Structure 1
Amino acid sequence: MKIEQFEDKGLSHYSYAVLSECENKIVLIDPSRDITPYLSFAKAHDANIIAVIETHPHADFVSGHLELQQVTGAVIYSSKLLGAEYAHQTFDDGDEIVFGKIKLKALNTPGHSPDSISIVLEHDGKDKAVFTGDTLFIGDCGRPDLREQAGNLTAKREELAKLMYHSLRDKLLTLDDVVGVYPAHGAGTLCGKALSEANRSTIGAEKAGNWSLQEISEAEFVRELLADQPFIPKYFAYDVALNKHGAIGLKTALADVPVKKPITLNSKLFIIDARPEADFKKGHLPGSINIQDGGKFETWLGSIIAPEEVFYLVAENEEKLKQLISKTAKIGYEAFIEAAFVVAGGDEQMAELHLAHFAAHPEQYTIVDIRNEAEIKTQPVFRNAIHIPLYELRECLANIPLSKPVVVHCAGGYRSAAGSSIIANALGTKTKVFDLGEAIKNFIS
């Protein structure tokens, strides 16, 4: 028996292959949209993928379960509560998948979502591992506030938080301390708030160190779980619905993206310019937002641009453009790309801030702090700054006064590149807009 973990660092996502070496059969759990790594793993072990299990309809990425079914003939398993619109087998309390010496047992563990399941792996008659989806993480548990308006079943966050309390204690804490814990996400995901950097653990270790498994009352647990959860990106509800239906194959989806600069650009559409901020500031096309390629490109694209909102996508070369289109497809946004093309510059520029003057006279500027609320509470920087988180910026532009030049900052420069470009687009020639960028580090004590 072998457990193989696959990681998508950009989305902090873990998926798994469970291999029966005696029967050369594989069951996949929570696969990414790109099914290539799973097919390669199966080929390397001369094994067949017989099943795919979805622990819940994921909000932060598009799953490849439907394409895997179409390519390999694998059976898709999910909870009956999910309301899946694709051919599937229900997998709930008491249901099992047996292959070789392995038995996979379903546990209904609502909390992150009403339809969440965990999967206990029994080998040679002993429980060896549990795949916890977004229920139990390493050091944390899943957030309960993503399904108030999404999915087949909806529930208020308070109700789901109470369900999470009991799922953890009545289902997962009953497992032996030696049982390995394999979650669907690690540190950096927006599906939880305080995850460890570790990629696996044990029930015993989580009992000792995970706050959500400690001896606290239901009311204390609910209060702590609901406090200071991260923001919810615009694309999350869209991905829940897409995963419930099942996405088209990745190659087919990518082939439909027009990769060519149009003769005429639609001025009503935003251009997502993923080039480095230094290149962007030197010259870019009108209507551009500088969401730089990086570890969290997908998350910020889906936080700034709403589902169904059509946009252009540009990069500095063909190879980078290809990578960006693939990243866009991870969240199902490839369908909204009007066209993707390479750019070397443009007529629009962003002026460079005179740092010495700003440091000496910050009162002469409108300072817009686009960090999240929790960051601002923990580490305030400028006393008179206007606080508008990046994910709300487009909707709150009217809150920015025009009487002074505008300086935008975040915590390190990545978000402020996007934020300053959004504001500059909106304000045009009404006032100057500057990006404080990495220089923010000079002002953080």
Structure 2
Amino acid sequence: MKIEQFVDENLSQFSYAILSEWGSSMILIDPARDIKPYLDYAAKQHAQITGIIETHPHADFVSGHLELHQTTGATIYSSKLVKAAYPHQTFDDGDVITLGKVRLKAWNTPGHSPDSISVVVEHEGKNVAVFTGDTLFIGDCGRPDLRETTGTLTVKREELAAAMYRSLRRLATLNDEVLVYAAHGAGTLCGKSLSDATESTIGAEKSANWSLQEMAEDRFIQALLEDQPFIPKYFPYDVDLNKQGAEAFMAAIATVPQEKPHRLNANMAIVDTRPQQQFKQGHLPGALNIQNGAKFETWLGSIIAPGEPFYLLAENEQVLRDLIRRTAKIGYEKFIGGAFVSDGGSEFTGNFDVENFSAHKGDYTIVDMRNSTEVREHPLFENALTIPLPELRERVAEIPTNKSVVVHCAGGYRSAAGSSILQKALSGKVKVLDMGEAVSLFL
């Protein structure tokens, strides 16, 4: 038996291939939308993809399970609780998939979602590994607050937190040497404080993972629910899309219009992904600066709501093609009204004067774009308005316009996006400045 891990660093997402001991058959777990790496790997191993297991309907990325089924004929397995619209075979407690001498056993492990499963791998009569989806992470466990209003099966976060407590303790009954393979690593918003490691063991997690420590259920629920990160706007959309099954990856990308229209639609958002230095020196009026970076998909789906059409701009053709693909990984390609290379524009962003600000802080309205937990742990400026970036477009009315506005975050990425949002929303009313990397002088 062989286990291969695939990593999408931008989404902090792990997917897996399990090969039988003869290498002729392969089962995938939680595949990403771009199925080419799995097809290439199967061809290299001279293996046939015979099954695809979805541990739950994912919120943070679009899965390629339906396209893999359509391309290879492989059976899709998911819990009956998902009530999936795609062709599938249910896979719940007591169900087993045989792969040579390997047996894949379904365990229902609700907590992150009511329909989550884990997959216990038995080889020659011994449990050797467990694929935990978003239930047990390395160093943490999945958040329980994503399914209160999403899908046909909704459950309150307190109920899911209690279910998580029980699911984790069930997983802890596995032998200490059993390998743990989760669906995400550090950087995901599906948990709070994941480790940088890519695999672990049940024994190591029982020793170091806070969520597996001995504690009363009510204390666990309290600890799990507090200080969860924000929920990006696209999460509920992706859950529903994954329950239906997404359009084939390359076919979806091919529908994106890749040319600049003669006249831009004034009702469509403009997402300019160029570095902030270029953006500030000249951009299209009203453009939003969501920079091409490691978490582009997350911020795009946190600022732009599902169904909101937008133009996608990049600094060159190669970057543009890459960003279209990354946009499709969260299912947003269908909202792109046009994708083209930016040649700048007539609107500029003013320069932030550190000395003037330091001497006259009272002359500015300071908007802190950090999350509430960051602000609580590291307060920076008295009387600053705390409006996290994902909420800014909806809360612009809270910002007074009687003096210049200065926007900051913790490093400059979020404030670049935030200042561009306010520059559009408050145009003609007040001057908007971005503190950018200068915030380091006040940390």
Alignment of 1:433-444 (within 5 A): 433-444=432-443
TM-fit CA distance, 1:166: 0.5
Correspondence for 2:157: 157
Cα separation, 1, equivalents of 2:16 and 2:275: 34
Are 1:352 and 1:434, in contact at CA under 8 Å, matched by a contact in 2? Answer: yes
Are 2:23 and 2:46, in contact at CA under 8 Å, matched by a contact in 1? Answer: no
Q: Deviations over 1:153-204 (max 9, x none)?
A: 11000000000000111x2011000000000001110000011111110000
Alignment of 1:34-433 (within 5 A): 34-169=34-169, 171-433=170-432
Match for 2:133: what amino acid? G
TM-fit CA distance, 1:20: 1.1
The structure 1 segments of at least 4 consecutive aligned residues displaced by more than 6 Å after TM superposition are: none
Are 1:267 and 1:287, in contact at CA under 8 Å, matched by a contact in 2? Answer: no
Match for 2:74: what amino acid? A
Q: For 1:181, what is the secondary structure of its paired residue?
A: strand
TM-fit CA distance, 1:21: 3.5
Cα separation, 1, equivalents of 2:435 and 2:302: 21
Cα separation, 2, equivalents of 1:39 and 1:363: 60
Correspondence for 2:16: 16
TM-fit CA distance, 1:361: 1.1
- 94-103 vs 273-282, greater mean Cα deviation: 94-103
Cα separation, 1, equivalents of 2:343 and 2:350: 18
Are 1:176 and 1:204, in contact at CA under 8 Å, matched by a contact in 2? Answer: yes
Q: Deviations over 1:282-313 (max 9, x none)?
A: 00001200000001100000000100000000
Change (3 A) 1:278 1:23: closer
Cα separation, 2, equivalents of 1:41 and 1:324: 24
TM-fit CA distance, 1:355: 1.2
TM-fit CA distance, 1:359: 1.3
TM-fit CA distance, 1:124: 1.4
Cα separation, 2, equivalents of 1:362 and 1:423: 19
TM-fit CA distance, 1:90: 0.3
Q: Deviations over 1:203-261 (max 9, x none)?
A: 00000001111110000000000000000000000000000000000011000000000
TM-fit CA distance, 1:362: 1.1
Q: For 1:10, what is the secondary structure of its paired residue?
A: coil
Are 2:316 and 2:341, in contact at CA under 8 Å, matched by a contact in 1? Answer: yes
TM-score (norm 2): 0.99
Q: Deviations over 1:313-362 (max 9, x none)?
A: 00010000001101100100000000000112000000101111111111
Cα separation, 1, equivalents of 2:138 and 2:221: 19
Are 2:408 and 2:434, in contact at CA under 8 Å, matched by a contact in 1? Answer: yes
Are 2:286 and 2:423, in contact at CA under 8 Å, matched by a contact in 1? Answer: no
Match for 1:71: what amino acid? T
Cα separation, 2, equivalents of 1:345 and 1:74: 47
| Unmatched runs of 5 consecutive residues or more in structure 1 | none
Cα separation, 2, equivalents of 1:412 and 1:139: 26
Aligned length: 443
TM-fit CA distance, 1:152: 2.8
Cα separation, 2, equivalents of 1:23 and 1:37: 17
Q: For 2:57, what is the secondary structure of its paired residue?
A: coil
Cα separation, 2, equivalents of 1:435 and 1:57: 38
Cα separation, 1, equivalents of 2:152 and 2:115: 9
Give me the CA root mean square deviation: 0.6
Are 2:21 and 2:101, in contact at CA under 8 Å, matched by a contact in 1? Answer: no
Match for 1:5: what amino acid? Q
Are 1:23 and 1:99, in contact at CA under 8 Å, matched by a contact in 2? Answer: no
Cα separation, 2, equivalents of 1:94 and 1:290: 50
Q: State percent identity of aligned pairs.
A: 65
- 21-30 vs 233-242, greater mean Cα deviation: 21-30
Match for 2:274: what amino acid? R
Are 2:112 and 2:142, in contact at CA under 8 Å, matched by a contact in 1? Answer: yes
TM-fit CA distance, 1:23: 4.7
Q: Deviations over 1:80-114 (max 9, x none)?
A: 00000010000000001001111100000000000
| Unmatched runs of 5 consecutive residues or more in structure 2 | none
Q: For 2:259, what is the secondary structure of its paired residue?
A: coil
Match for 1:7: what amino acid? V
Match for 1:2: what amino acid? K
